[in-house]
Amino acid sequence: MKRPQGDFSRRQLVFLGVGALALLGFSWVWLLCEPEHHWGLLSGFCFLGGAAIGHAWALGLHHHFVPTAAEVVHLLQLQRHAFLNHLQVISALAQLNKPEHICEYITSTNKDLDRERCLTGLLPAEAGLVLLDWCYRLHDAGVAVQVDLKTDLSRLANGTGLAALLMEALTALIGAGSAVKEVALKSFSEDGDEVLELTLVFDGNLPWPRPARLRERARTVPAEVKVKRQENTLTLAILLTPVHVPAAPKVGAAKS
């Protein structure tokens, strides 16, 4: 998958930051060795170094959340593995002559496929891939995931920003080893906003995401984030400003 223009690789970001720090260190050493030179020159070096570090940090905000080709291939491998597992289960049930169990299993599998269809069809591609990856992780951990998307957000203007926000939130809530039992994702319209709501049920203490960090990411979408805690349940509501990209023209459409 092609990265957005201006995005840097992880190695390039590291080189940029290290180069800026080296420039600052050289400036200080040079000033100590040549004290007759003006402090203004050092200030210039500091400004350039600080600007480089800040630029690297800003680019890094979105770097980890743009799906790469390797990540897409990994998801395809997970889907292939899941499909082979389904075939093995159906084959085993057929050998045991249990047709009613086969029908039940196929119905359950269809629900899983419908969930994946919603994630990849009703959300921007970047956000859908992030959530699909997390669904596989949670499934492997035995965590129930429910998806109920009632609105089409696939043409949201900044899908990369939404993917970054979702990854930041899920990593803070689940990635830290929290004992999550259930996850539910739903979307709906409310007071002119499109709302994407993530609800997590935990077994034990609730994690607490950094609201300031989430709000910072939400501004790039643009969106507003609201966090609600109640007993063992945490709800994260993302209020999306309804700004969409124009739909692609239909092939063969008549010209005016």
Same-domain pairing of 46 and 87: no
Same-domain pairing of 192 and 168: yes
Same-domain pairing of 111 and 78: yes
Same-domain pairing of 118 and 155: yes
Same-domain pairing of 114 and 192: yes
Same-domain pairing of 106 and 189: yes
Same-domain pairing of 96 and 218: yes
Q: Assess if residue 133 is contained within a domain.
A: yes
Q: What is the pLDDT of residue 183?
A: 93
Q: Assess if residue 203 is contained within a domain.
A: yes
Structural domain boundaries enclosing 107: 69-240
Same-domain pairing of 150 and 53: no
Q: Assess if residue 248 is contained within a domain.
A: no
Q: Assess if residue 187 is contained within a domain.
A: yes
231: tokens are 């007993």
Q: What is the pTM of this model?
A: 0.65
Q: pLDDT truncated to tens, each residue of the chain (256 aa)?
A: 333 333 444 444 455 555 555 555 555 555 555 555 554 454 555 545 554 544 444 444 444 455 677 877 887 888 888 888 889 999 999 999 999 999 999 998 888 888 888 998 999 988 998 999 898 888 888 888 999 999 999 888 788 889 988 988 888 888 655 688 999 999 999 887 899 999 999 887 777 767 778 888 888 888 999 988 888 899 999 998 765 555 555 555 555 4
- Domain at 134, CATH number: 3.30.565.10
Q: How many residues are there in the chain? A: 256
Closest by CA position to 115, among listed 85, 149, 86, 140: 149
Q: How many CA atoms lie within 13 A of 177 on its CB side?
A: 0
Name residues whose C-beta falls within 8 Å of residue 106's C-beta, 6 or more positions apart in sequence.
90
Closest by CA position to 121, among listed 93, 159, 152: 152
